[in-house]
Amino acid sequence: MSAEIIDGKAFAAEMRARVAQEVARLRDDHGLRPGLAVVLVGEDPASEVYVRNKGRQTLEAGMKSVEHKLDAATSQDDLLALIAQLNADASIHGILVQLPLPDHIDSDLVINAIAPEKDVDGFHILNVGLLGTGQKAMVPCTPLGCLMLLRARLGDLSGRNAVVLGRSNIVGKPMANLLLRDSCTVTVAHSRTRDLQEVCRRADILVAAVGRPQMVTGEWIRPGATVIDVGINRIPAPERGAGKHRLVGDVDFDSAAQVAGAITPVPGGVGPMTIACLLANTLTACCRIHGLPEPE
């Protein structure tokens, strides 16, 4: 193995510690406490784990954490009423609605009902537009975490060839916008891309967000490239015992690590950065709402 392992877990822990310091400073200097409300509709086990982790880490950073767990049959109107209530709540600075929502609810409508300044996921149409036009936006947490890891590893990103594999609204597209903002030459690849392997092999920076376990192998990677694996896939692991599973990324770590210059592991790469960025966004939202300088 030749690649450097990018330790997202350690980086995220440092970031959370910095956020906690700023939260303490806000309390001491201004008597403020950032508050994050997470709304979960239905009982998706994976979402429940995320929500639990988010709540725990929010409290550990010294922030207020509120969880609203709603029944899967909750009506769209009731959900919108809750969002309106949270928008008006001065103790709440960040609102996150855990996706996916049940089919009878229009996700776009709900996300766009969140006050843009409290939209810590950065999915509101206003924040999407601000990011797309290079203005000050609330930036989606997962791509923001990827960008931080890339800057930490590579420094200035300008002029680098970046390939983003995946074009979802929550990862691929905002990732492409962030890399463009940092002056990379960006290619966005997806399920209709021709010669996908060749396209990926041109990348100095390869961000994989496809949701296909271990799809990207070493042959897809340019020697020395920096590989960011966003994928979180649960696959059977009979070697661990009957019925056991393990998490893998969209990149085949073992073959990719032979070729790449640096690579994020799964777990322990992008995943922990997502929650750290959520805390950072909540802190930023609190500062902006109160007209205070934003932390670096």
Contacts with ligand NDP, 200-239, as mask; x by CB under 6 A: ---------xxxx-----------------xxxx------
Alpha-carbon gap, residue 253 to 268, rounded angstroms: 13
Show the DSSP H helices in 31-72 as ranges: 45-60
**Taking CB positions, which residue lies at the least distance from ligand NDP?**
168
Least distance to ligand NDP from the beta carbon of 196, Å? 6
Query: Which one of residues 30, 104, 190, 246 is an interface residue with ligand NDP (CB under 6 A)?
Result: 190
Query: Which one of residues 65, 98, 274, 282 is an interface residue with ligand NDP (CB under 6 A)?
Result: 274
Q: Is 232 annotated as a binding residue?
A: yes
Closest CA to 137 of 120, 153, 154, 151: 120
- Any residues with CB less than 8 A from the CB of 154 and at least 6 apart, and which? 160, 205, 226
Q: Is 52 in the site for ligand NDP (CB under 6 A)?
A: no
Task: Supply φ then ψ for residue 207, to 5 degrees.
Answer: -110, 120
CA 6 to chain centre: 16
In the complex with ligand NDP, which residue's Cβ is closer, 82 or 210?
210
Contacts with ligand NDP, 120-159, as mask; x by CB under 6 A: ----------------------x-----------------
Contact yes or no for 231/208 (Cβ under 8 A): yes
Express the helix, strand and coil content of the chain in percent, nearest 5 each.
Answer: 45, 15, 40
Reduce the DSSP state of residue 4 to 3 states and report it.
Answer: strand
Active site residue: 57, 118, 119, 121, which one? 121
Q: Is 167 annotated as a binding residue?
A: yes
Q: Which residues bind ligand NDP (CB under 6 A)?
A: 142, 166-168, 170-172, 190-192, 196, 209-212, 230-233, 250, 270-271, 274
Annotated binding-site residues for NADP(+) read: 166-168, 232
